[in-house]
Amino acid sequence: MRLDKAVALTGLTRSEARRAIAAGRVRVDGRPVRDAAMQVQPEQVRVNGVQLEEPGALYIMVNKPAGVLTATEDRRLPTVVDLLPPALRRRDLGPVGRLDRDVTGLVLLTTDGQLAHRLISPKWKAEKLYRARCEGMLTEREVEAFASGVVLSDFTARPARLVLLETGDDGSTADVALTEGKFHQVKRMFAAVGHPLTGLERLRIGCLSLDPALGPGAWRHLTGDEARALRRMCELEEG
C-alpha cells in the first residue's frame, strides 16, 4: 500500500500523514522516506520511531470515561469507538469484554479475534484488576469473603483478591482482581457483602495496564511489546 495510507493507519488523516512524511518523521526499513506514494508493507514503517502494526491486527487501549458505551455503535449514546479518529473507526475494531456505562478505565479494542476470545473466556482465566470505591468501612471480613467466593443469587463468584487501600466509615477504596466477568459482577459482589459501589475503574486486563498518561477519553496504540505480551499470555503464536 502507499506510504501515506500506511501512516494513516495510526489514526492520522491522510494530509497529516503526508505532513509527517514531509517532515522526515517516517522511516521505512530504518531510512527516512519523503515519498508519500512509495509502496510499502505496514510492518516496514516507523512513525516517530514507533513501528506500525499490520493492518488486521490492531490493538488500541482507551481510557473509557463515564457515560460512554462499550459498544461499536449506538443510535443515541457515544461509544468507545466514537473516541477514535475516523480512519480507525472504519477498521472493524471490537471491544474485549464490556464495562458498564458508568464504569471508567481500560478498554482494549482489537481486530485480533483469537486474542479477544481468550481474554474474555473464563477458561483462560485472564485476571482483570479494578479500583473500587464503596460505601462504608471495608475490613478483613470482606477480604476473606472475596477470597472464599462471594455467594450471589444465581452463582458463587470465583475466589477474588481484595486489597484494602483506604477504609473509613464514610467509604472505602480497594483493588479487586477477578478471573471472570459476569454481568455487573463487581457491583453485585460488593452489594452482596453490604458495601454498594460508588465508583469503579478498570486498571488492568491480564498483563496490560492502563497507561496513566491517558486521560479520560484518550487512546493509544499498544506498543509491539504490549501486544506480544498479551498474545504470549494467551498462548498464541507471535502475531
| 8-state DSSP, 97 | S
List 110, 142, 185, 205, residue binding ligand URA (CB under 6 A): 185
List 184, 211, 214, 239, residue binding ligand URA (CB under 6 A): 184
Which distant-in-sequence residues (6+ apart) come within 8 Å of 167 by Cβ? 137, 138, 139, 173
> For the chain, what percentages of helix, strand and coil (3-state, to nearest 5) are there?
25, 25, 45
Is 126 one of the binding residues for ligand URA (CB under 6 A)?
no
Is 187 one of the binding residues for ligand URA (CB under 6 A)?
yes
89-108: contacts with ligand URA (CB under 6 A): 99-100, 103
Beta pairing class for 128-134 and 208-209? unpaired
Reply yes or no on whether 74 is catalytic.
no
Stretch that binds ligand URA, among 29-37, 88-96, 110-118, 178-186 (CB under 6 A): 178-186
| 8-state DSSP, 112 | -
Least separation in angstroms between residue 98's CB and ligand URA is 7
Is 5 one of the binding residues for ligand URA (CB under 6 A)?
no
State the cell numbers at 200: 469503579
Catalytic residues: 100
Residue ranges that bind ligand URA, judged by CB under 6 A: 99-100, 103, 184-187, 200
